[in-house]
Amino acid sequence: MSAQNHASHIYAQDLPKTPANFAPITPLSFIERTALVYPQRTAIVHGELRQTWGQTYARCRQLASALQRRGIGLGDTVAVMLPNTPPMVEAHFGIPMAGAVLNTLNTRLDPEAIAFMLDHGEAKVVIVDPEFSGVMAQALALRQNQREVLVIDTEDALFTGKLKPIGSLSYEQFVAEGDAHFDWQLPADEWDAISLNYTSGTTGNPKGVVYHHRGAASNAISNILEWDMPKHATYLWTLPMFHCNGWC
């Protein structure tokens, strides 16, 4: 069928996409619905912390708002070097809520590899856990691109080592800059990038792999089906690596 004939048939007329009949597929809608339907259910357990879905959603919105107020938006990369802590959960939703792209850094890599990723991914913000502040400080010093990067230090009540902040402010200070009622928007296109992951670079420099919103949401749904996950499941959330993100 020619393009001209395709455009003239009845199903191509007066049936446009509208907010009433179409929304981009994105994992951001998961937390929005969960916070609406189950606001008091526990979302995060970390040491003495018990954080509900309502609280988690509000903090994700705060993070997104704080990022936008700092000029971070569509197409900007925010790198995080975090273990399984609450900021990692919040980053998976708050960063794309701002329109930005999440780059989770492999905590096992050396400073040289991390430096390459920060340059190659053009990270504008780095959020780092105190456990990895030493490696990150070295990586930042090794960067070839001298563009300024906002470095944010997270705080972890379970961390028993010596604190050596390398950033200009703490994660809690940064989140406090944002609005918990921030009116975030769905992506204009579900093909928009949501995350940037890297291979370990065993045959050269690390290779970047981009997920889009649709792919991340589809992957999350497929994992729920494959794992036969029951309603209100409680499980250990594992660190995102190459083939999986924290939405799955």
Q: DSSP of 164-185, one letter per residue? A: ---SSEEHHHHHHTS-TT----
**What residues does 170 pair with on adjacent strands?**
153
| Residues ≥6 apart with Cβ < 8 Å to 88 | 80, 82, 104, 239, 240, 246
Which secondary structure element, helix H or strand E, spans residue 6, and what is its range?
Answer: helix 3-8
Q: DSSP of 229-248, one letter per residue? A: PPTT---PPPPP-SS--TT-
pLDDT of residue 239: 44
Ranges of residues in the chain whose predicted pLDDT is under 70: 1-7, 201, 236-248
Q: pLDDT tens for residues 136-176?
A: 999 999 999 989 999 999 999 899 988 899 999 999 999 99
Fold assignment, 24-179+188-226 = Rossmann fold (3.40.50)
| Residues ≥6 apart with Cβ < 8 Å to 89 | 43, 44, 56, 237, 246
Residue 64: alpha-carbon gap to chain centroid: 10
pLDDT of residue 57: 98
pLDDT of residue 3: 54
Q: How far apart are CA 135 and CA 132, in angstroms?
A: 5
Q: pLDDT tens for residues 105-140?
A: 999 999 999 999 999 999 999 999 999 999 999 999
